[in-house]
Amino acid sequence: MHLFVNYNSYKEPLLNSGLMTHELLKEKISTITNQKKIEVKIAGYSAQHREIYQLSVGRGPIPVMLWSQMHGDEPTGTRAFFDLFNFLQADDEHNDFRQLIFNHCTLHFIPMLNPDGAELNERRNAQGIDINRDFLQQQSPEAQLLTRLHQQIQPAFGFNMHDQEALWSVAGTKQPASISLLAPPADDLALVSPSRLKAMQLVAGINGILSSIIPGYVGKWSETFEPHAFGDNFQRLGTSTLLIEAGGYPGDAERQFVRELNFKILLYALEQITTAGYQHHSITAYHQIPQNVKELFHLLIKNVILPTPAGIIRVDIGLNHSHSFDAVPLQHQALYAIQDIGDLSTYNAYQTIDVQGYEFAHALSLGSLANFTVIDALNNTYSFQNGQLFFIRKT
């Protein structure tokens, strides 16, 4: 059913770019409170006393808990939630599908678990705590709240929505890992418990759908057990938990396409849960998902002639943005830093410039902002000034 849903009919237009702030979240939630299908309440407060909301819908026997932005600078899942809210509140040709969900599931969303971090576009909360590493100590009010909600809801399924750095790639393809998936392990041995089996089957099904949309762009996170993390511990406590990481995709700096993928993943997963269709997928298919690796740069300059104290060498230069993608609207200009110099022929990049033997007049320093000019084979000029890239096309 989800394949026939027109995403653009439900996409929330006010969340297309820029920071996903707490004020914007509150503005959007205020429009939902006027609807009857979704129940909205304040579940608790952040360290700086910002509201953390719980939105619930459905009346079915299968409790599902979905949370996003426990890292404040990872807003893609939050945006996809609001697209999904638009779908769940609509009255159109998909009403039968909605009723299927509502009759079988009770959905509990916690968008923006870390509003203080979101306000500053930072990973950690106002205390400097990584909430997703605070399951054991429970020092942050946000971790305490998520734990309490889990105890109250006792979810059969859990969806942990994150963003990953755009430089993660898919092993064997050198393509960005636009979506990375994981059924987190519940112990050091990564045993297949009953709850994890369901999560692995559901992930296998999601990968099958994504592979038809973005073949070669789906990866799997490491199965190393993280005893401080919520996903691993919820899995241990019997909730079939899925980690969904939104990554980079060519030409999608604002992650709007990846946001759409999140929307489709969630609709597919809810369909699979309501019909128990996930049981038809094998864990063999889960284990066949290629791993996340790092074989990408934001920009790769190839075939540079570089002077060194010991003589002239031919090298490639790998450069990365010094700011995450969500900081770009604030900076209005990505800043490039030199990440690596040498034989980078086994790497890929979002943009590649082949200068075919262009000679540098000076040495380069790893880790520094780019300050140099290169000319490619077509006489196009690329000038870096304090990390900013200026492009001059030959006329």
| 63 close to 155: Cβ distance less than 8 angstroms | yes
Query: What span, in angstroms and rounded, lies between the C-alpha atoms of 91 and 88?
Result: 8
Nearby residues of 121 by Cβ (< 8 Å), 6 or more positions away: 19, 72, 73, 324, 326, 327, 330
Query: What span, in angstroms and rounded, lies between the C-alpha atoms of 395 and 392?
Result: 9
What's the whole-number mean pLDDT along residues 34-52? Answer: 93
pTM: 0.93
The one-letter amino acid code at 314 reads R
What's the whole-number mean pLDDT along residues 309-331? Answer: 71
Give the CATH class of 296-392.
mainly beta
Q: What does the mean pLDDT of the chain come to? A: 93
Nearby residues of 83 by Cβ (< 8 Å), 6 or more positions away: 7, 10, 11, 12, 259, 260, 263
Tally: H helices and E strands in the chain: 10, 17
| 72 close to 123: Cβ distance less than 8 angstroms | yes
Task: Tell me the CATH number for domain 2-293.
Answer: 3.40.630.10
Strand partners, 374: 382
CA-based nearest residue to 252, from 145, 316, 177, 155: 177
Q: For the chain, give every domain's residue range.
A: 2-293, 296-392
Residue range 204-263, pLDDT digits in tens: 999 999 999 999 999 999 999 999 999 999 999 999 999 999 999 999 989 999 999 999
Hey, what are 305's tokens? 């002639």
What's the whole-number mean pLDDT along residues 353-375? Answer: 88
| 239 close to 157: Cβ distance less than 8 angstroms | yes
